Amino acid sequence: MNKTLKQFLNRAKACYDLKELERLGLTPDMNQREYILTFLCLLLKWNKVAGLISKADENNLFLRHFCDSLQPLLLFGFKKNARILDIGSGGGFPSIPIRIFRPDLTMVLAESNRKKAVYLKEVKKELVLENITIFNGRVEKMPKPENGFDYVISRGVGSLVLLSQISKPFLAPDGHLYTYKTKNIVAELELITSNKEKAGVKISEIAEYDLGNQILGLNLISLEIHK
């Protein structure tokens, strides 16, 4: 960790909560713990410049953002050596926390905001993360891989219908879209269900979860997209 980041280390340590990871069934080794602290330092360093999380969230960022980001890994899972596209990566959520615990995954982080993309590139550099690419631009303009991605993940980008249509061209035939929802879920699910034949979207699983008995009523949704 460089000297600039060490200025944020005490704040990062104050955010880090091993008990919350253990509550999720995860026990990071020393290298993973170092990655997490470095990531938190980078987030705190860049937050004022790039607007990565709200000021109100900073005191609870580990639970609300880091632990929340791990839910696709814990609730639905990813096959080994999977290829993943994270749409609207922002502060690196959910991709970076997932990548820390699953180094076998290959990821593309798509972020249209220039400052946030520069931040993500620094995260990649400081954490020495292999198999990660940062795409700065609208995801619709991103080159599409020949065989598609095994998974598309997104944390809070648009409605289910909109996100599924954006994701559709990027997914492999047997791929899945994982996304988070807290509000308007009933209306969005009804819209997806009533238009599933036309939109080519099928809901495969919905998992409701809480975070540390503090943040309740969260939902993770898995969708299959038929081309």
In this predicted model, what pLDDT tens digit does every residue of 117-131 receive, in sequence order? 999 999 999 999 999
Per-residue model confidence as pLDDT tens digits over 45-92: 999 999 999 887 888 899 999 999 999 999 999 999 999 999 999 999
Cβ-based burial of 155 (10 A; exposed 0-12, middle 13-18, buried ≥19): buried
Split at pLDDT 50, 70, 90, the class of 202 is confident
- Interhelix angle for 114-127 vs 30-50, to 10°? 160
Distance of CA 124 to the CA centre of its chain: 15
Residues 129 and 39: their CA atoms lie apart, in Å, by 11
Categorize the per-residue pLDDT at 115 as very low, low, confident or very high, splitting at 50, 70 and 90. very high
CB-side neighbour CA atoms (13 Å) of 208: 6
Looking at residue 185, its pLDDT comes to 81
Looking at domain 63-225, its CATH class is alpha beta
Arithmetic mean of pLDDT, 143-168: 89
135 and 104 Cβ atoms separated by less than 8 Å: no
Q: What is the pTM of this model?
A: 0.94
Q: Which residue has the higher pLDDT, 77 or 161?
A: 77
Q: For the residues 207-226, what does the mean pLDDT come to? A: 90
Higher pLDDT, 226 or 96: 96
Confidence of residue 22 (pLDDT cuts 50, 70, 90): very high
Angle (CA) 224 155 89, round 5°: 110
Q: What is the DSSP string of the chain?
A: --HHHHTTHHHHHHH--HHHHHHTT----HHHHHHHHHHHHHHHHHHHHH--S-GGGGGGHIIIIIIHHTHIIIII---TT-EEEEES-TTTTTHHHHHHH-TT-EEEEEE--HHHHHHHHHHHHHHT-TTEEEEES-GGGSPPPTT-EEEEEESS-S-HHHHHHHHGGGEEEEEEEEEEE-SSHHHHHHHHHHTHHHHTEEEEEEEEEEETTTEEEEEEEEEEE--
Flag whether pLDDT at 34 surpasses 70. yes
Is 200's pLDDT higher than 80? no
**143-76-175 Cα angle (round to 5):** 30
With a cut of 80, say whether residue 113 has pLDDT above it.
Answer: yes
β-partners of residue 178 are: 153, 222
Tens-place pLDDT, residues 181-197: 876 688 788 777 776 55
Q: Phi first, then psi: what are they for 217, rounded to 5°?
A: 70, 35
The chain-wide mean pLDDT, for the chain, equals 92
Closest CA to 17 of 179, 191, 212, 213: 212
At residue 150, does pLDDT exceed 60? yes
Q: What is the per-residue pLDDT for 226?
A: 76
* 163 vs 193: CA distance, rounded Å: 15
